[in-house]
Amino acid sequence: MTFNLENSIELLERTPLILETQLRGISDVWIHCNEGEETWSVFDVVGHLIHGEQTDWIARLKIILSEGADKNFKPFDRFAMFEESKGKSLNQLLEEFKVLREKNTSILKSKNITEKDFNRKGIHPVFGAVTLSQLLSCWMVHDLDHLAQINRIIAKQYKQEVGPWIEFLKILK
């Protein structure tokens, strides 16, 4: 499928509702479990999504669309949420994410991006030149990746308990 901005925004706008519906009010046992050593919990994933909303997607979009000569992206701290989320509840994180995502999708829509803009480039600190359509595609798929991760984290808590059905449960492999 070719990148389509409207279709991507459609999914980006739904992520907060999906998270809210699935996670608001669930027990701490689900919030803080993970998949093993040096893996993230549901709480960590939501904090990571917030950090992306604050420092990554729109900041990089603005760099790409700017007329300035410096198109270099600042490196993204994939682990910033460990400090930034301290002292907060999951419900607070869900609300913060919702507010930030609404703001960011509004900014995205306000840019009146054209198909010509899709090929404009920024410089990623690891990958080098990337296009606006790649950045926006990544933003949407990044959401889907972390939604799948949240479901996998929760599912794996019952990995042993499903018994022989594990053979049919791809999420547990």
pLDDT of residue 170: 97
Q: What is the pTM of this model?
A: 0.96
pLDDT of residue 97: 98
Block residue for tokens 């998270």: 19
Q: Can you tell me the distance from the alpha carbon of 70 to that of 49, in angstroms, rounded to the nearest whole number?
A: 26
Q: What is the DSSP letter of 37?
A: T
Q: At residue 72, what are phi and psi to the nearest 5 degrees?
A: -80, 130
Torsion of CA 50, 55, 59, 60, to 10 degrees: -90
Provide the strand spans (E) within 33-143: 121-124, 128-131
Q: How many CB atoms lie within 10 A of CB 3?
A: 15
Q: How many CB atoms lie within 10 A of CB 53?
A: 23
pLDDT of residue 144: 98
Q: Can you tell me the distance from the alpha carbon of 109 to that of 112, in angstroms, rounded to the nearest whole number?
A: 6
pLDDT of residue 150: 98
pLDDT of residue 87: 96
Phi-psi region for residue 55, left (φ > 0), alpha (ψ -120 to 50) or beta? alpha
pLDDT of residue 162: 98
Which residues in the chain show pLDDT less than 70?
none
